[in-house]
């Protein structure tokens, strides 16, 4: 489909391809083309210039960041953060509630570590995720209900929150990409859209050595990734750092590549972007072998846990926005717990239950690690999916599966220097509708932008030349958090 081609050949994915498709870097000439294509978030000459201009006038650049734990497929709110213990089994589900560090607040029994430190979290039980769907999973990741490619032909053009952060906040260190995703499939994350492909996320899976799993979560005993920083045999650092030779190539290429003014950006900031590729900071940040064995053991050897550790390393090194796609499957996602007989996704007991202890461990380990390192006030950790699930089990002829339920979902936040230790909003008795304090996708986006110092009244231009506001639906930062 066209969407696949659009993101399958973006600038950095094809930067060092094995197959000759998209942009193949076989020469200095193609290296320059790659630089001007944006390196998918690594080369941002305008961003670097903006940061330099800000420093010149004494403006401090924020070092805030976001880690989004994306529970791909849509976790059941009733079986995680919004239990209904007094309801009939078909509604309440198979899990028992447990008490938490917040008096009177209960969550699922399979999240005991989060329960013990819930005073460091905010649980939102009233997220209005109407029109959100998955594959592609973009409404909640853009904060815009129009970002629904299944129903809107231009739904994939609305930029990710991470892409807007990349453009208007940038990386916290010039040698790092601003927006990084570890995604199982391109349809699980949101992209640069109208902002341009230079604000697409950098694919972290290609830069780190990580364990490989099959589509149902079985470890395959091999690793993938870590090839994106390797230069082809026809290139070496001497050739790339030879400024005189680069300028000669630039002069020869200018007439062919500057029809839209793109070559004008290859000034000192474009050279700085090339230096990112040749420098060690990004490579070291993605290299888990540099992490002490004790820390790697603390997180655990599961893929998602290793990615959580990488997320911490990346925000330490200067990445502003990291999204972890918590899914084994390339289709709708591992949290899509329909429980359809013969399907790949189990219901609540067989599908969701094994995920919760793993998620509980990685979430609390990440938050605790950030706190111990003095980073928690800078890093906002968000855990959510694209929607909740039906109040009653047994949908689609399953025993205990739950279908999609975009009427309401729950989510969890920690860090960012925000006010936590609270529950925001509530659902009705069955957990099927919002009873109080609805929170919209626009509210979520505005909250993240406030944290990141992105202007709430900012706009970007669509394909018709019209301005679109970053924050839709009159979204406002959640006052409970500030």
Residue 36 lies in a domain: no
Q: Contacts by 444-447 with C-beta closer than 8 Å and gap 24+?
A: 444/127, 444/140, 444/143, 444/475, 445/142, 445/143, 445/144, 445/161, 445/470, 445/471, 445/472, 445/475, 446/143, 446/471, 446/475, 446/476, 446/477, 447/477, 447/478, 447/481
Q: Is 379 helix (H, G, I), strand (E, B) or coil?
A: strand
Please report the pLDDT score of residue 440 as a whole number. Answer: 98
- The answer to the question of residue 26 being in a domain is no
pLDDT at 252: 54
Torsion 82-431-472-198 (CA) sign: positive
Judge whether 6 lies within some domain: no
DSSP E strands, 372-482: 379-384, 388-389, 404-405, 409-415, 422-424, 426-427, 434-436, 459-461, 467-469
Containing structural domain, residue 113: 65-233+281-481
In a domain, 246, yes or no: no
Asked whether residue 302 is domain-assigned, the answer is yes
- The count of structural domains within the chain is 1
Rounded (5°) CA angle 57-63-69: 150
Helices (H), 279-388: 281-285, 293-299, 303-317, 355-372
Instruction: Please state the rounded mean pLDDT for residues 71-94.
Output: 98
123-136 pLDDT tens trace: 999 999 999 999 99
CATH number of the domain that residue 459 is part of: 3.40.720
Q: Which class for 479: exposed (0-12), middle (13-18), buried (19 or more C-beta within 10 A)? A: exposed
Q: How far, in Å, CA of 190 to CA of 138, rounded?
A: 5
Give the single-character DSSP code of 210: E
The 3-state DSSP class for residue 11 equals coil
pLDDT at 7 over 80: no
| pTM listed for this prediction | 0.84
Integer Cα distance of 17 and 22 in angstroms:
8
User: Does residue 35 fall inside a structural domain?
Assistant: no
Residue 20 has pLDDT above 70, yes or no: no
- pLDDT for 8 beyond 60: no
Q: From the CA atom positions of the chain, what is the Rg in Å?
A: 22
pLDDT for 262 equals: 44
Let me know if residue 470 belongs to a domain. Answer: yes
Q: Is residue 376 part of a domain?
A: yes
pLDDT digits over 160-182, tens only?
999 999 999 999 999 999 999 99
d(CA 357, CA 222): 24
Find the range with the poorest average confidence among 25-39, 353-367, 384-398. Answer: 25-39
Of 34, 73, 348, 316, residue with least CA distance to 175: 316
């Amino acid at each position: 489909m066209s969407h696949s081609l659009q993101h399958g050949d973006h600038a950095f994915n094809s930067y060092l391809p094995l197959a000759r498709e998209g942009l193949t870097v076989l020469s200095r000439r193609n290296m320059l083309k790659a630089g001007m294509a944006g390196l998918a978030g690594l080369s941002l000459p305008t961003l670097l210039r903006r940061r330099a201009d800000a420093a010149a006038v004494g403006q401090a650049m924020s070092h805030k960041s976001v880690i989004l734990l994306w529970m791909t497929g849509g976790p059941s709110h009733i079986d995680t953060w919004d239990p209904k213990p007094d309801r009939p089994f078909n509604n309440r589900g198979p899990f028992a509630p447990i008490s938490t560090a917040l008096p009177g607040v209960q969550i699922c029994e399979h999240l005991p570590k989060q329960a013990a430190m819930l005073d460091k979290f905010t649980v939102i039980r009233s997220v209005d995720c109407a029109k959100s769907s998955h594959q592609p999973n973009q409404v909640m990741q853009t904060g815009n209900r129009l970002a629904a490619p299944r129903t809107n032909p231009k739904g994939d053009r609305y930029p990710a929150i991470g892409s807007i952060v990349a453009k208007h906040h940038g990386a916290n260190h010039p040698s790092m990409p601003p927006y990084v995703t570890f995604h199982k499939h391109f349809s699980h994350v949101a992209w640069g859209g109208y902002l341009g492909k230079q604000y697409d996320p950098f694919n972290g899976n290609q830069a780190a050595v990580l364990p490989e799993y099959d589509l149902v979560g079985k470890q395959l005993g091999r690793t993938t990734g870590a090839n994106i920083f390797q230069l082809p045999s026809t290139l070496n650092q001497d050739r790339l750092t030879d400024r005189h030779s680069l300028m000669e190539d630039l002069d020869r290429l200018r007439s062919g590549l500057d029809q839209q003014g793109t070559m004008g950006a290859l000034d000192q900031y474009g050279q700085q972007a090339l230096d990112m590729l040749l420098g060690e900071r990004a490579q070291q940040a993605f290299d888990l072998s540099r992490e002490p064995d004790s820390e790697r053991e603390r997180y655990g050897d599961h893929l998602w846990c290793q990615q959580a550790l990488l997320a911490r390393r990346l925000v330490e090194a200067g990445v502003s926005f990291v999204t972890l796609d918590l899914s084994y499957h390339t289709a709708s996602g591992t949290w899509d717990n329909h429980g359809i007989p013969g399907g790949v996704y189990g219901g609540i007991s067989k599908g969701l239950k094994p995920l919760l202890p793993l998620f509980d461990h990685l979430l609390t380990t990440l938050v605790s690690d950030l706190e111990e390192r003095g980073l928690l006030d800078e890093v906002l950790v968000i855990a959510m999916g694209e929607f909740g699930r039906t109040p009653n089990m047994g949908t689609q002829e399953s025993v205990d599966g739950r279908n999609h339920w975009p009427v309401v979902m729950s989510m969890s936040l920690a860090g960012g220097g925000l006010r936590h230790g609270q529950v925001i909003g509530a659902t009705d008795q069955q957990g099927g509708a919002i009873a109080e304090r609805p929170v919209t996708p626009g509210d979520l986006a505005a909250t993240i932008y406030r944290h990141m110092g992105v202007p709430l009244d900012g706009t970007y231009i669509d394909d018709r030349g019209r301005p679109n506001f970053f924050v839709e639906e009159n979204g406002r930062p959640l006052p409970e958090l500030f």
